[in-house]
A and B are shown apart, each in its own frame.
Chain A
Amino acid sequence: MKLELQGITKRFGSLVANDNIDLVVNPGQVHCLLGENGAGKSTLMNVLYGLYEPTDGRILVDGKPVTFRGPGDAMAAGIGMVHQHFMLIPVFTVAENVALGDEHTKAGGILDLDKTRARIREISDRYGFDVDPDALVEDLPVGVQQRVEIIKALVRKAEVLILDEPTAVLTPQETDELIQIIEELKAGGTAIVFISHKLREVKAVSDVITVIRRGAVVGTVDPSASTGELASMMVGRKVSLSLNKAPATPGETTFTVRNLTVPGAGGQNLVDNVSFDISRGEILAVAGVQGNGQTELTEAILGLHPHASGSVRLNGRELLGMKVKDIIREGVGFVPEDRKVDGLVGSFSIAENMILNWYNEPPFAKGLAMKPAVVLKNAREKVAEFDVRTQSAEAPVSTLSGGNQQKVVLARELSRPLNLFIASQPTRGVDVGSIEFLHKRIVAERDGGTPVMIVSTELDEISELADRIAVLHGGELMGVVPGDTSRDVLGLMMAGMTAEEALGQGPGQNPTPAGEGGTAAGERISGEHAAGEETR
């Protein structure tokens, strides 16, 4: 099936999110959309999937114009979409989720799941998905849930599959597996539209790259172009992909964590007896495969886990046991892992979100009364400083593109006096140009004398920012190693070796054998990265 978009324009009020876009998607091709935050990629895909009606332009399937009044129509026409947040029912099995909305019934209207099961097995075998139709969705890791979404689309005979930032929530290893699946689908004739801000992935999977800037297509690039070329094409200026930060000059140690333990529901500890220090003017990066206690570690420091035990001291004050509000008052900046859930109130304006945890402090409030004019002025300044692409600081934050929402969170947390800065996945969904800026801001915060703790599942980001690296595995600290430790050693530690053991194995060794327990994160991508770096 050949899919064509002709002259697609989408306006939101006076804002032109898509400006006369033409795009052709051919069978058996991976078509990648590249563009800055707010360039209009998601909007275009929502138009294609029938979620938005285009202001102008038309969609052609095999040369015939079609109109989509909703995702149902798009699916009927053979278009499937996997959203970044999955639309699965957690308490249903895989088969039930797949059948939902497309149920087969036996005589008398009895649900016939066997057919669906068979289809799932068939697809799963063909593309190597490795998905059990009877598993409960809530028990599955994120990467597998994503595959369920893909299966859902394939069962409905999708010939074009839209993946909007599918890798933003995946571990490097899951990313590798996804790329594998994409290759298989491609070989089977499925067309794929792929959106990502991670240039190496883009280079690895795409056949065609279309670059969008400020709503309009600025051209196509060959996937063999260097990451640097890709970056400058999408941003419209030269982007330096490496940070080149000055070495840290650690000062006094003001932040200490001792024997921090967060009990889990099932009896095992989510964070298990973890101790470390961070000095002023130093960045400690916490590495680890997603779900090894990083989230709980940061949340416990912010006071979100009432049952945490041990000690967390900042400037000599014990934080454990304090209220979240008071911990924030102590000068802790916190960027949560999932901006939509924990970082932002979608229906609030950008201005309100910019002061979400500072709303009752001067100059934004005096007593009970808030000062809307001051709040707005502050937001306008931050929007300009952090290059948040929006028409108005009073717009609801939910109308921003994903990357711009992330910038709002960063802007809020980095613009007050801090004694500690904690950020989880600080640049998730952010384009390369803005990553450059945000990384510089984080380093500037360090150089201003703030202890900084960065949690990231991206080894690139870790090695870019870290002065020292702490590795978590199963809630335990495997050790704290220097910032320039090799990826191989980090990979071993992330798989559960202590620092001594891993260093003892020597950095000269080959990367962890593929498939080993699935925890030694994404060496394939990291290997390619080494090649990619030369092009910088």
Chain B
Amino acid sequence: MSAANGPNAEGIAEGTAAPPPIPGTVETPPAGGDDRGRGILKSIATGSSLVAILAVVLSIILGGILIALTDEDVAAASSYFFSRPGDTLGAAWAAASGAYAALFQGAVFNPRADSLALMFRPLTETLTVATPLILAGLGVAVAFRAGLFNIGAQGQIILGAMFAGWIGFSWHLPFGLHLVFVVLAGFVGGALWGFIPGILKARTGAHEVIVTIMLNYIAIYLVGFLLTTPSFQNPGSSNPISPRLDETAVFPQILGPQFRLHLGFLIAIAATYGVWWLLNRSTVGFELRAVGANPFAARTAGISVTKGYVVVMMLAGGLAGLAGVAQVAGTERVLTSGIAASFGFDAITVALLGRSHPWGVFFAGVLFGAFRAGGVQMQTLTGTPIDIVLVVQSLIVLFIAAPPLVKAIFGIERKKKPRKASRAKATVSGGAA
């Protein structure tokens, strides 16, 4: 064997280290998934949950500072900062806490609502928004566990929504059956958009990041185009918008008509459990994880790396496709070109924050749902721009990508040890024979 660039004699220092490249004579699995960048990304996506939590806390604090800095009252008070600094700080605190209180009110609980049920309405909004985030986040995470970067959730959501929507408004089936077809179609649509990068990677080694990004564009323009054709466009409308889905094809609202929360959320819970089971308790998950962690060893153990790539990308696409179903058959009930909003991109952040673990993704999805739902309320109540929420989200990604930074800020790791103790010990010890 020749050049090998493992990080450590026995790899004991770095548990997540990618395997060293092996020489060209052996047929290597296509694009073996082992360059340095991949190793770094891998540790970003699967690192400790402590870092994730700290990253969120830190981002919220920084977001608060930002709110304070841009607040008018704070600016006014700061003009006489040196005579009465307390005013500035007080105003800053008021601005930040006020904004976050409004965010909380918009995302979780609104004490000013008329009835107890309505007080919890914000929470149901959060969960509604979280539903596509969780599903698409799972799609990104599951691919990641097999060592692939699925940047294509956006396109997969669109395809899922397109397939599901079309079945929803152009087929007319009895209640129940119709919905089953809608869900299946959405999964299939997403899976198809995942299959393409999967098979290209397996057959030709084409890098999935490039392919999925390109497929996002294709999906965006494809749905835009189809919505101008008679088979998709609402008759009589000149806007790129489809007919409404049949009543039999939409998700029932699980808490009654005054709440938007729909069956899709239950599907998201089931999918989270399903993905957890698949990854950690099934032979398929064992294969996928092995392919992701060390494709060379997987191949030697008789696991088909190429098949793994195709299977996982279809699964990932299918999950993102379900997010599209949740959008088209749950929240929107009509297909538009903006059906996926930016869920597919936020899903990447959600998967990162959730450390690619199914339940981590679930909670990260709920958190981001809360940001979105609460951000609107924050803007209307306190005038704090909703963009602050985006800044906080971006900061989270930034901090997760730099675990050492977070650890340094919170002073974890590399604590100084007491020197004296060691010296005392050293004198006691003698060389045995």
| Interfacial residues, chain A to chain B (CB-CB below 8 A) | 6-7, 9, 20, 22, 42-43, 46, 51-53, 55-58, 69, 83-90, 137-138, 140-142, 145, 164-165, 169, 217-220, 264-265, 270, 290-291, 295-296, 299, 302, 304-306, 323-329, 334, 336-338, 340-348, 352, 356-357, 359-360, 365, 368-370, 372, 396, 398-402, 405
Contacts and interface: CB of A to CB of B under 8 A. Distances in A.
Contacts of B10: 42, 84, 340, 400-402, 405
A348 B8 contact: no
Interface stretch (B16-24, B71-79, B358-366): B16-24
Contacts of A69: 414
A90 B302 CA distance: 29
B151 to A, nearest CB: 23
B20 A137 contact: no
A337 B1 contact: yes
Given A56-B417, A219-B432, A340-B11, A306 B27 contact: yes
17 contacts: A20-B425, A20-B429, A84-B10, A85-B5, A85-B6, A140-B2, A141-B2, A265-B24, A324-B302, A329-B302, A340-B6, A342-B22, A343-B297, A344-B294, A346-B294, A357-B301, A400-B10
Given A218-B432, A323-B302, A370-B286, A56 B422 contact: yes
Contact of B6 (A58, A83, A323): A83
A299 B3 contact: no
A77 to B, nearest CB: 18
B112 interface: no
Nearest to A19: B429
B18 to A, nearest CB: 9
Nearest to A21: B429
Contacts of B22: 338, 341-342
Given A6-B422, A7-B422, A370 B293 contact: no
B12 A142 contact: no
B282 A368 contact: yes
User: Which of A290, A324, A369 counts the most B-chain CB atoms under 10 A from its CB?
Assistant: A324
Contacts of B431: 22, 217, 219-220
Contacts of B12: 42-43, 46, 398-401
Nearest to A264: B25
Interface string B398-433: 000000000000000010010101110110111111
Given A87-B7, A346-B11, A402-B9, A370 B281 contact: yes
Contacts of A43: 12
A301 to B, nearest CB: 12
B422 A346 contact: no
B50 interface: no
B-side interface size class: 35 or more
Given A368-B282, A370-B281, A342 B300 contact: yes
A83 B294 CA distance: 21
A328 B302 contact: yes
Contacts of B24: 265
Contacts of B25: 264-265, 270, 296
Nearest to A357: B301
A88 B20 CA distance: 11
Nearest to B290: A345
Contacts of B4: 85-86, 338, 341
Contacts of A141: 2
Contacts of A299: 26
B15 interface: yes
A338 B17 contact: no
User: Which of A306, A357, A401 counts the most B-chain CB atoms under 10 A from its CB?
Assistant: A357
The 9 closest A-B pairs by CB, nearest first: A85-B6, A325-B302, A7-B426, A357-B301, A6-B426, A90-B3, A84-B9, A402-B10, A360-B283
B283 A365 contact: yes
B423 A340 contact: no
B275 to A, nearest CB: 14
A348 B299 CA distance: 15
Contact of B1 (A165, A329, A338, A356): A338
B286 A352 contact: yes
Contact of B11 (A20, A89, A368, A398): A398
User: Which of A55, A85, A334, A399 counts the most B-chain CB atoms under 10 A from its CB?
Assistant: A85
B13 A334 contact: no
A402 B16 CA distance: 16
B297 A342 contact: yes
User: Which of B25, B26, B432, B433 counts the most A-chain CB atoms under 10 A from its CB?
Assistant: B25
B282 A369 contact: yes
A359 B5 CA distance: 29
Contacts of A138: 2-3
Contacts of B304: 323, 325
B166 to A, nearest CB: 32
A403 B395 CA distance: 43
Contacts of B226: none
User: Which of B15, B22, B297 counts the most A-chain CB atoms under 10 A from its CB?
Assistant: B297
Nearest to A56: B422
Interface string B172-216: 000000000000000000000000000000000000000000000
A337 B281 CA distance: 30
B312 interface: no
Contacts of B15: 346-347, 396, 398-399
B20 to A, nearest CB: 6
Contacts of B283: 359-360, 365, 368-370
B27 A169 contact: no
Given A42-B12, A340-B19, A368-B282, A217 B6 contact: no
Given A55-B417, A341-B20, A7 B5 contact: no
B96 interface: no
Contacts of B121: none
Contacts of A360: 283, 286
Given A140-B3, A305-B26, A405-B10, 7 more contacts: A219-B433, A305-B27, A329-B302, A346-B15, A346-B16, A346-B294, A401-B12
B391 interface: no
Contacts of A368: 282-284
Interface in B257-297: 281-284, 286-287, 289-290, 293-294, 296-297
A58 B429 CA distance: 13
A340 B296 CA distance: 9
Nearest to A404: B10
A377 B172 CA distance: 54
A52 B414 CA distance: 10
Contacts of A369: 281-283
Contacts of A302: 300
Nearest to B298: A345
A145 B300 contact: no
A374 B423 CA distance: 48
Nearest to B42: A347
Contacts of A85: 4-9, 11, 20
Contact of A142 (B2, B7, B26, B429): B2
A306 to B, nearest CB: 6
B89 interface: no
A290 B290 CA distance: 29
Nearest to A53: B414
B66 interface: no
Contacts of A51: 8, 13
Nearest to B23: A138
A338 B430 CA distance: 39
Contacts of A343: 297, 300
A265 B26 CA distance: 10
A137 B22 CA distance: 14
A89 B4 CA distance: 9
B53 interface: no
Contact of B290 (A88, A145, A348): A348
A5 B300 CA distance: 42
B3 A137 contact: yes
Contacts of A86: 3-5
A346 B293 contact: yes
Contact of B300 (A42, A58, A169, A324): A324
